[in-house]
Structure 1
Amino acid sequence: MKIYSIIISLSILLLTYFVSENNIYPYKKSGKWGYMNPKGQIVVQPQFDYAYNFGESELALIKKDGKYGFINKKGEIIIEPQYEKAGRFGKFELTGVYQNGKYGYINTKGEIIIQPELDSASGFGESEFAMITRNGKCGYINKKGEIVIQPQFDDATVIWISELALIRKDGKYGFINKKGEIVIQPQFDYVESFEESELAMITQDGKYGFINRKGKIVIQPQFDKAESFGESELAMITQDGKYGFINRKGEIVIQPQFDEAESFGESELAMITQDDKYGFINQKGEIIVQPQFDYAESFEKSELALIQQDDKFGYINQKGEIIVQPQFGYVGSFDESELAIIRQGRKYGYINNKGEIIVKPQFDSASGFGEAEFAKIRQDGKYGYINQKGEVIVQPQFDSVYGFNETEFAIIKQNGKYGCINKTGEIIIQPKFDDVEKYDEFILGVQYGKSWGIITSKGEYIGFTEKDIEQEGKKEED
C-alpha cells in the first residue's frame, strides 16, 4: 500500500512537472513583457505593456498600447490586442470583453459570439450559464453563447441552486428554471435562495414564511423575522421581540421566549440569551446550559464553543459540560482545527479540544489554523510558523510571512525583500526580490528592480543571473 502511494505521488509530481515544462511564463525586461519557457528560452520577445500568467487556461491575457488580447502557449497571438477590457478564459470557451462602453463575449478563436452591446456580462464560474444585462434587464446565456433566457428581469442571481435561480420583476421575487421557465411567479417582497434546503424563506407584507420548490406556501408568512433552515430541521423565528424555533411543517417547536438566539446549523445546541446572559438549548427546546455566561458563541463546525465569564474565556462542549474553565484573556474558535488560540496576559499559545495547553502562551500574536496545516506566530516583531502538533517549524525571524496555500512553499518578507521557504523551514529562495508571484506548483515570477524573471520552487534562476539582479539594483540607486 505504501509503495502504491509512492507511485501515485511520483506520477502526480511527474505530470505536474511535464505541465510546467510545456508552459510559458511572463517575464519583464527593459520595461516590456514577454514569455519564456522553463529552460530559459525566449518564446515571445518582450513587447507587451503587461503579460498575464496562463493559469488553467490555454490562452493568456496580454496588454499592448492600452488594449487587451490573447496569446497561446506557442507564443502565437491568437486574438490581437483590441479590447478596452477582457476577462480570462480559465477553463471556459468564452470570456467577456468590453468595447465602447458595452460588454460582449468572444471564444478562444477570437470569434465574437455576442457583439459588445450588453450593459454587463458575468463569468460562468461553476454554472452552465452566465448572467447578462441589456437595457437594464437581466437574462442568461449558455456556454455556446446562446441567449437561453431573454433579458427581462429587473434583477437575477448568477448562482443556480438545484436547477433554480432567483429573479426579481416589478419589485417582486420568484424563481426560474434552466429552460427559462418561471417556476415560481414573482410575487414575494423578498425571497432567500433554497441552497441545500427544500424550503426557502419569503416575506409578504412584512411577515416571514416559507415556500417549497414548487412555489407552494408551506408555512404562511406570520413571523416578525425568520432565518433559513439550511441543513437543520429547525429554523429560528421571532414574534413580539422574542426568539423561538419552528420545524419544517411550520409547527412551533420552541416557543418564542428568548431575548436572542442563533441557528442550530449542524450542531445539536443553539445559543440563546435571557436577561443579558448566554446559555444553550437543544432541538427539543430544553435548556441544556442555563443562561449564565456574559458571552458565548455557537458551535458551528466545532465540538467546542467559546464562553466568557467575568472577562475570562473558556470552552463548553455540546453536552453542556465546561471543558475549559473561563481563565484566559482571549480564546479563538477551533473551526475544523485541532488547536485554537489562547491568550494569557499579553502572550498567545494554543490549546487542544480536550482543554490541554499544547503550546504555552509565549508569542506576541498568533493566528488560527482554520483548514490550514500551519499557522503564523509572531515574537519580538518577527514572524514564523507553527504546525497543528504545536511544533514551531519556522522560528520567528521574518518581517512578514504568508500562507502555504496548498503548495510546498510560502512567501516570506525580510528587510523589504521577498523570498520563499519550504515546510521544513528551509529558505529555498533568499529574500532579495521586490515582489514574488506564484505561477504554478513549480514556477514563480520574481521582481528585481524594474524587471521580472522566472525562478523554480527550488530557487533555480531561469533566464537571469545574480549579475542581472545587481545591475538592476545599481539602476535603482542611480
Structure 2
Amino acid sequence: MKKYIAIFILFFLTSLLYGCSKKVTVTIHFNNGEPNQVIDLDEIGYLPVVQTPEKDGYEFLGWYYQSDYQTAYRGERIIKNTHLYAKYSTYALGNESFVRFEQDGKWGLMIPQGKVIIEAIYDDISTFNYGRAMVIKDQTFNYIDENGTVLTSWRPYNPFLYDGIPHFLEDGLSIIFGDDYTSIDFIDRFGVIQIQTNHIGKGDSYFSNGRAIVYKRHGNQIPDTCSYIDLNGHLITDTFYKSCYPYNEGYAYIENDHGYQQLGLNGSMSLETNYVEIYPLYDGVKPVYILNSLSIVKRLNENNHLVYSVVDLDGHVLFTSPTERIISFSEDRILTMDNGELISIYDWNGNLVSKTTYQPATYPAYGYYDGLMVVMNDQNLMGAIDQDGNVIIPFEYEDISRFKGGFSVVKKQGLYGVINTKNEIILGITYHHLKYYDDILIF
C-alpha cells in the first residue's frame, strides 16, 4: 500500500511541478525565404505538427537544433526555449554530384572535394539522383536520402544497379519489376506504389514528360510491340508500335510500318518523316532523342541517298554530313565521327573547324560537358579538348569520366582521383576505386 501511495505522491508532485513551469517557445527557421515562426508550447512541452516546408528544387530533410545541422530533432519533449532549423538537400534535385568511393570492400559517397556524405558501409551504392540513392546491404535494397536515412526497403527481383536500376528521374517515380521480371509498377521517392500496371516493362520504361514506355508480348516468334502510359497508368493511345523512344520536350519518336513518326503528348501523330534511323543524344548519360528541340537522324535526301542530319521538330534540316555520322552537337558546334571513329568538328554553317586525330572516349555520353569533351589518342590515353579541338586536359590519364559541375574522376597509374576543368588536382590520385556516376544510364 505504501508503494502505491508513494507513486501517487510522486505523480502528483511531478504534475504540480510541470503545471507551474514556465511555458517555452520554439522558433522555427524555414530557411526558404519565409519568415520565422514562433510557437508557444503548453506545459506538456511537445511541438505540434509543423507543415513540411518547401524549397523550390530541393528536398526537405528534417529539423535540426543548430544552424549547422549537428543534431536532428526527432519529436522529443522540449523543456526550454529552442530554435529549430529546416535542412534541405545539399544539391538541387537532378543536379547532384557525388563520387562513389570504396573502402575496405564497402562503398560510400563523397562530394568531389573529398568530404564524405555517406560512410562506406554498403555492399554497393548508386549515386544520388533526385534526392535518392539506392544501396545494397546484406542482400537488401534500400533507398536513402542525403542524411543516410533509410526510406524504404525491399528485395527487388532485378538486383542490378546500373542497367535498368529503379532510379528516380524528373517525374519523381521509379520503376520496380514484379516477380515475373517483366510486369512493372511505379513507386514514389518514399517507396509508396503510385501506379500499378499489368504492363510489361523493360529498361527504357521510365517516366519522362509524364509518359512511360510499356510493352505487349506476342510470343516467341513475334517481337514485342510498345506504347505509352500516363501518370495515371492509362494508355495514351490504343495503338502499339514496332519501337518506341522516350518522350522529351513534349514529343517522342515511334517506328511503325511506315517508318519513323513523331507523337505528341496525347498520342496523336504530329509529324511523318523520311528518317530511317534516329540516334541518341545524352542528357548526362541518360539517352534522349530530342535535345533543345533538335534530333540526329539518318534520312533519305532528295537524291534518295542516305545522309546524316540534324533536324528540328518540324522536320527542317539544319545541318547535313553526307559522309560522317553525327554524334553530338552543342550551341556552337557539330561533332561527327568517320569510319575510323576520328572526330571532326564543324560549325552550324558547315565549315570544318577541326579534323582531329582523336576518338571519343566517353561512350555513350558523347559531347561537351562543362565545355570539354573527353577523347582518346592513338596510345589509348585520355585527355579533353575544347570546342575548337584544342587540348585542354593533356593525354596523361588511363580513364576520365565526363565532366560534371567542373569535376571529373581520373585514373592514372592504376589509381583514382578528381581533377577540375583546368587539370588541377582536387582530390589526390591515391584511391583504388572511385566512380563518378552522377546520372543513370538506362539501356
The structure where strand makes up a greater share of residues is 1
TM-score, normalised to structure 1's length? 0.45
TM-score, normalised to structure 2's length? 0.48
Structure ranking higher on relative contact order (CA contacts 8 Å, 6+ apart): 2
